[in-house]
Amino acid sequence: MTQVATKKSTNQAILFERLGGTKGISMIVDDVVETHMNNPAVSPRFLPYKDQPERLAVIKQHTVDFFSSGSGGPAVYTGRDMPTTHAGMNISAAEYMHVMDDIMLVLDKHRIDEETKKEVLAILWSLKGMIMGK
Task: Give residue-wise pLDDT tens across range 71-83.
Answer: 999 999 999 999 9
Q: Express the helix, strand and coil content of the chain in percent, nearest 5 each.
A: 65, 0, 35
pTM: 0.87
Alpha-carbon distance of 96 to 132, in angstroms, equals 7
Q: Above pLDDT 70, what percent of the chain?
A: 91
Q: How many helices (H) and strands (E) does the chain have?
A: 7, 0
Crossing angle of the two packed helices 114-131 and 93-109, in degrees rounded to 10: 160
- Tens-digit pLDDT profile for residues 29-65: 999 999 999 999 999 999 999 999 999 999 999 999 9
Q: What is the pLDDT of residue 133?
A: 77
Per the prediction, the chain carries an average pLDDT of 90
